Amino acid sequence: MSKIFINYRTGDGDFAAVLLDRHLSEVFGPGKVFLASRSIPPGADFAEHIIGQLTGCVIVFAVIGMHWLDQDPASGRRPLDDETDWVRRELVEAGRLGIEVVPVFLDATGRLRASDLPEALSGLERNQYVRLRHRHPADLDEIARAVSGVLTVDEDELRAYLSALAEGLESVEDWMPYATLDEGFVERRVNVHSTLPERRQEPPVGEVGWTNAARELRLGVVLADAGAGKTWLLRRHCLQLCQAGITQLDDGLPVDEVTVPVLVHSHELATAWTSSPGLDAFVTGALSGRTASPRLHAYLAGRLAAGSLNTHVLVDAYDEVFEDRLRDAVDNAFRLFIATMVPDGGPSLLVTSRPAGFLELALPQRADDGEEPVTPTYFELGTLGEAQVRLLWERWYELRGTDVPWQRLAPALTPTSPIRTAVRVPLLAAFAAWVAEDEKLRTNRSGLYRQVVDRFYRLGWKRGSPAPSPVVRQDAALRASYRAAFAELAWHMATSGGIWRDAVPLLECESVLQRSLGTASAPYSRTFEGVRTFGVLIPWGSDEAAPVGWIHRTVHQFVVAEYLLTLPGEQLEELLDTYAWFHPEWAAALDFALGMDSAPAGGVTSVVQQLCSDGEDALGWFAMVMASSAAGSRSTNPETAAADDLIGRLYRAGFLTATHLARVLALTPLADAVKTAELVHASAEEHGYGQEAWDALAWCGAPGLALLRVAVTTWDSAAGAAKALHGVAPGLAVQAMEERIANSLPVDPADRLVVRELGPTVVRALCSAHQADPGDVDAARLLGWTSADEARAALSTTLESANAGHRRSAVAGLAASFGTELDEPGFARLLSSALHDRDRDVRVAARSELVEIGISVPWVSNRLAEYSDELYRDETAPQLDSLASIAARLDFVGPSTDTAIVMLMTEPALITGPVQEALARLTGRALDGDLEPRLLLRVAQLGGRPFRDRASAQLLRKHPLPEVNRRRLAWAVCHAFSEDPGVFTTLARCARRAADPHVGQLLREHGLAAQEKVRVLLTHLLKLQRNDRTAVEIWTDALREALLSLPPVHRAVLREPCASATRHVLKLEPEPAPLPTSPPPSP
């Protein structure tokens, strides 16, 4: 049965009708289009056939030419006024059947007027129309798009699409360490954020498995640097969607309900949008270069336009679009897509990007109907675990038919190895395996990268690429010329135009390489040799004109470091003084250069030491570079001693972190372990041990490990110590944790991953302890952290207890057991307690545990929203239909309190009488921080400037609020007045007065302009009259982030003010306290 009906008048547009029929038949298939002159079989009753076909159609195109309304010269009447006229009959019948009629105006034909139409067709004047013009072939595509949402492909064609896409995703190039994507994929872990996370200098360790994090995803962004595996994660996710769709087809699910992914590179999306803006640009880009029928294209576009719930759009490499015009195209495509999304339906969108190239997605405002727009979830892709690195290496060598050379790989596995963290990045792990095929890995990053780069030029990276010619492999002079040319390219990308660039246009890349190497023989180019022969370069996009970058940013940084070593001292000092201050890429290049520098004087090491000890090192930037160096100091000359002394002073003042300081010890053979541990311990004793201090001690060799072990086994409060110890000595950490449990000391959630590795004997003991005292919440939670089946069984038994206190304990234990890996059965178990337990306290506890898990696991949060009314039922809540009822809701805080406040924000005139009095009481609670954070935020927004002023005074009063209350109030004020300079100043003063890094975090979240933040924080530093390490550390942490968010030219202007503040603070520095000879008592 046809779905598209073409209505036309012979002699007035029949040529256009044929053209339209031909195009729509190509797009949707000839069986889907009805044109009387083609579709009526010979001998058929044409009247019956026309009406029969019309009944089955979903859209009618009425072709209207210049003479459609004209009179018939023979009769003097308009055919349209004749009730037997078939053009009229078809349109009237379509109206009767409720079929959509779309006028198609030819060329310059004017729009219809109701006065010109017979009464039976008067509604046609209001129908949205399309145009079909000569020399405008795009008009036909627009007409096809008009019906794409109402037509569908058949099961076979959809299966073919899913199967072909899955086959392409499953295959990998033969230089990968595994044969298929499925074989090589290991479950990656991510950190989940509701707002764009801060950019990190080091990749994070993920907390949530990807499968659990991405369930029921609506709008997500995966952020990770190059080489971290985000494209492979996206491909694997798309592959799973393909497999799900094929399974659904096998099970007989209707085509329109089947899961369908649309995978597109951002550059192809930009190109498609530029040619034809609209949602179908996602489909056009996805099908670019693929064999796909116009019908499939129209069907996929129709699913997007129709808001199909089971359509999933995946966009790779948002950061790989550089040209402003194309970046605007991608942003506009995202803006349109997101604007069509609703929280409980429509297609999903998942994007990957490097953090450096990502701009926050443009989100629509609240809809006219008050419905909140869909907001993105951000995923930071975590590094590989050690077991995953080992598995990657095993597959690498299995593919090559050789045993794993563990001895050659050993330097990357040593707990305190400088390269241990680096090889947690998948691409760098592959580099290490590649090098270890022939030689033992060197022990620092500079040495490892020299091995990697040497191997690139000698052998070529990708085994599937055209092999380098024997001349290139064996001719050392020719190989050196290529190496020099790529070094010139790296230097050009780092310095030309005064900015560091990760990629350059293809023509610019070719021009730089040709200056050193000359023109390549046709049909190849020098850039092609860098990409395919040597493998050090990669195109950032799929088209031939895509920009070109390095295979990994660290390779670019290393090659720049090699270039730095060739420069004379004076030029080097001028260059670093100009480019390197507060520039992360230059810091990384210096890190490599310091590790390779062997010059006795005047080299990179001497210049950096001079820059960090001449009194002009603003915020200790160059000292931090020295402290973080992969090689550290290697000599005892006066410059080294002065630099090391300054590093200690900067640490004591608060400009450097404990981790920076400890790396000096771990990475410098001549450093004094006791001296470094003294500095870490003295600061932690004064300000309290936090995770950073524990991690720093883990770098401090034997003195640090000894103190960590004592803290874990004997201190009452040692949150995070076992975690830090586990990072360098896993076995020792587990033993220490077993002793801690045996000594009946409390275990903090920060150390729960160590608890998971406890042996079965300890788990059985914990089960027995829980069964002996099933009401002990802390013991139940500790048992849950083991995640053992035996533990879950014991806790599930307790959940059936008649005692409410026991059930409350079991809820806490099960929530701890599942954590961020909560599955459907676990969710159902906890949800049942939250909804149906007969004790209110147990219901509230289960709800709170689920809400806490939902912060990191979006699908849990989404599922809880479906049960919101039941979870937060408040049977005593009155209707908000009077001032008294509103006042009652403000006095009795519950789920409807938020509704009451929103009502007052909308209608301020209601704030009178009892409402005004109740609001004053609620405001008092808010100022005491005695409300849930989001409700407190509403009160702050309603209170406006008066609330801001009172809250600022409250945060700065002599007798501060309790810690939890202070943090709530500070958070609400920060977000309610997100661009207020006075609030930012208050937060800065509060962070110092309370010595609270959590309030310091708000300095980074506050929306004040970066330059204004810098001004305020520098003013605070210059006003210090005594040493205050915690305040300096909190302020400079926010100061660094603000500086890094500014363009380099703006940063340079602020260097001298930063240097002035640094000199002032260093004058206030006290003498350090010595490290006790015996472990200190518990804090």
**pLDDT per residue as tens digits for the range 649-668:** 887 888 877 666 665 555 55
Q: What does the DSSP assignment read for 952-1011?
A: HHHHTSSSPPPHHHHHHHHHHHHHHTTT-HHHHHHHHHHHHHHT-HHHHHHHHHS-S-HH
pLDDT surpassing 80 at residue 1071:
no
State which amino acid sits at residue 407.
Q
**What is the SS3 assignment for 600?**
coil
Binning pLDDT at 50, 70 and 90, where does residue 861 land? confident
Binning pLDDT at 50, 70 and 90, where does residue 361 land? low
State which amino acid sits at residue 1069.
E
**What pLDDT is recorded for position 1075?**
40
**What pLDDT is recorded for position 857?**
87
Q: Judge contact between 572 and 605, C-beta under 8 A.
A: no
State which amino acid sits at residue 392.
L
Instruction: For residues 612 and 790, give the distance between their C-alpha atoms in angstroms, rounded to a whole number.
Output: 57
Q: Which of 68-82, 457-471, 804-818, 851-865 has the lowest mean pLDDT?
A: 457-471
Q: Which of 258-267, 414-423, 549-558, 1059-1068 has the lowest mean pLDDT?
A: 414-423
Helices 1010-1023 and 981-994 meet at what angle, rounded to 10? 40
Residues counted in the chain? 1083
pLDDT surpassing 80 at residue 646:
no
Q: What is the average pLDDT across 931-943? A: 89
25: left (phi over 0), alpha (psi -120 to 50) or beta: alpha
**What pLDDT is recorded for position 637?**
53
Q: Which residues pair with 193 in a beta bridge?
A: 378
List alpha helices for 315-378, DSSP H.
324-339
Instruction: For residues 1008 and 229, give the distance between their C-alpha atoms in angstroms, rounded to a whole number.
Output: 34
**What pLDDT is recorded for position 56?**
64
pLDDT surpassing 60 at residue 829:
yes
Sheet holding 219-223, edge to edge: 208-209, 189-193, 377-381, 219-223, 348-353, 311-316, 260-265
Q: What does the DSSP assignment read for 79-123?
A: GGG-TT-HHHHHHHHHHHHT-EEEEEEETTPPPP-GGGS-GGGGG
Greater model confidence, 360 or 786: 786
Q: Which of 455-464, 525-534, 622-631 has the lowest mean pLDDT?
A: 455-464
Q: What is the average pLDDT across 20-47? A: 84
**What pLDDT is recorded for position 799?**
93
**What pLDDT is recorded for position 778?**
92
pLDDT surpassing 50 at residue 353:
yes
Instruction: For residues 802 and 723, give the distance between their C-alpha atoms in angstroms, rounded to a whole number.
Output: 37
Share of the chain above pLDDT 90, in %: 29
Q: Which of 578-587, 613-622, 833-842, 969-978 has the lowest mean pLDDT?
A: 613-622
**What pLDDT is recorded for position 366?**
44
Pairing of strands 189-193, 208-209: antiparallel
Q: What domains can you pick out in the chain, each with its CATH number?
A: 4-148 (3.40.50.10140), 155-194+208-381 (3.40.50), 384-464 (no CATH), 480-543 (no CATH), 761-873 (no CATH), 883-1066 (no CATH)
**What is the SS3 assignment for 68?**
coil
Share of the chain above pLDDT 70, in %: 86
**pLDDT per residue as tens digits for the range 721-751:** 999 898 888 889 999 999 999 999 999 988 9
State which amino acid sits at residue 645.
D
Cα atoms in the Cβ-side hemisphere of radius 13 Å centred on 786: 27
460: left (phi over 0), alpha (psi -120 to 50) or beta: left
pLDDT surpassing 60 at residue 388:
yes
**What pLDDT is recorded for position 918?**
92
pLDDT surpassing 70 at residue 404:
yes
Q: Judge contact between 302 and 151, C-beta under 8 A.
A: yes
Instruction: For residues 700 and 662, give the distance between their C-alpha atoms in angstroms, rounded to a whole number.
Output: 6
The whole-chain average pLDDT of the chain stands at 83
Greatest CA separation for the chain: 118
State which amino acid sits at residue 751.
D
In 10 A of CB 302, how many CB atoms? 23
Binning pLDDT at 50, 70 and 90, where does residue 509 land? very high
**What pLDDT is recorded for position 668?**
53
Greater model confidence, 666 or 267: 267
Pairing of strands 100-106, 208-209: unpaired
pLDDT surpassing 90 at residue 1001:
no
Rounded to whole angstroms, what are the CA distances from 696 to 652, 665, 705, 890, 1083?
14, 10, 10, 48, 18
pLDDT surpassing 70 at residue 851:
yes
**Dihedral (C-alpha) 690, 694, 697, 701: value to the nearest 10 degrees?**
180
H helix or E strand, kind and range, residue 232: helix 230-250
Instruction: For residues 733 and 725, give the distance between their C-alpha atoms in angstroms, rounded to a whole number.
Output: 5
**What pLDDT is recorded for position 238?**
93
**pLDDT per residue as tens digits for the range 543-588:** 566 788 888 888 999 999 999 999 887 888 888 888 888 888 898 8
**What pLDDT is recorded for position 278?**
78
**What pLDDT is recorded for position 542?**
58
Q: What does the DSSP assignment read for 242-310?
A: HHHHHHHHHTT--GGGS-EEEEEEHHHHHHHHHHS-STHHHHHHHTTTS---HHHHHHHHHHHHHT-TT
Rounded to whole angstroms, what are the CA distances from 895 to 854, 872, 903, 943?
19, 6, 14, 20
SS3 for 1050-1070 is HHHHCHHHHHHHHHHHHCCCC
Q: What is the average pLDDT across 642-651? A: 72
Measured over the CA atoms of residue 104, residue 109, residue 113 and residue 117, the dihedral's sign is negative
Instruction: For residues 819 and 23, give the distance between their C-alpha atoms in angstroms, rounded to a whole number.
Output: 56
**What pLDDT is recorded for position 878?**
52
Q: Which of 71-75, 175-179, 679-683, 1017-1021 has the lowest mean pLDDT?
A: 175-179
**pLDDT per residue as tens digits for the range 136-162:** 888 888 888 777 655 667 888 899 999
Q: Can you say how many angstroms the Cα of residue 1022 is from the centroid of all Cα atoms in its chain? A: 37
**What pLDDT is recorded for position 638?**
56
